[in-house]
Structure 1
Amino acid sequence: MMKVLSLRNTVVLFSLLIVSSCTVVVAEPPSVSPGPPQVCPRIYEPVCGRSGPDRQTFGNACEARAAGYRVLHPGQCRRGGPVPRPEPRFCTQQYEPVCARRGGSVRTFGNACEARNAGHRILYDAPCR
């Protein structure tokens, strides 16, 4: 009878050793591999983007999104000082008149691009009355 208990204890002890030496492996989800880099047009239409607390000016909305930023508004990010005007962009000759203002001056432009290049704010899409 003593040998049976000893054999049983040996089997239990051996089983406990095997179970205790097992390692639990937790599989992590596979990492998402980034797709191909986003190709953005080389058009200068500056936007202010935000990622967390960081704000940054990008050449266009596509470039901001490609860098992982959310577009806040068109134009450069303002940081308390005067914002330099961007270089004038080339405008089409398409005639879509707009009425625009700069200071106390109100003027009709051939299209919105021409008005913005002249530093005017567009009031409405039609010739000034």
Structure 2
Amino acid sequence: MNGFSGRSKTWALALLLPVLSSCVEDGPGPGGYNPPPRPWPEPRPQMCTMEYRPVCGERGGRLETFGNACQARERGFRIVGTGECSRRPDRPDWDDRPGRPDWDRPSRPDWDRPERPDQGGACTREYRPVCGQLGPTRQTFPNACEASNAGFRSVTPGECRR
């Protein structure tokens, strides 16, 4: 035997063609019913950076300040503004700085100096000391970024001389 003859192949193809073509979905289902697409939740990020760009988020009528937009979205909050959430007279339960039990304490040693910059940037932890100057005051800082954040101008590399 040398397999199928030409006529057998034709019959096999004629029988298989309707079976194979019935596997293709085309158009609405029986009775014209087309089920709606399944709602998939919006994918949430797996990991957020620790970059500090505060945003105000809202969920269920509750406001909360987050370090950045990614962290707010990860917790299911909708971003309603940039910066920390401010106190709202229509929300007496909302504190000025939620999540910070130390909100009334200074975060920097120069907090009460009016000449210090309003916004400090994030600095690396590299140790490359500089001598910074602000008016007549000289102070040693671990790096130029820290000096700048404190409102000082870097004047010399290394520690300040006494």
Same fold flag (TM > 0.5): no
More helix by percentage: 1
With the shorter chain as reference, the TM-score category is: 0.3 to 0.5
Please give the TM-score of this superposition, normalised by the length of structure 2.
Answer: 0.33
Q: Identify which of structures 1 and 2 has the higher relative contact order when contacts are C-alpha pairs closer than 8 Å and 6+ apart.
A: 1
Please give the TM-score of this superposition, normalised by the length of structure 1.
Answer: 0.39
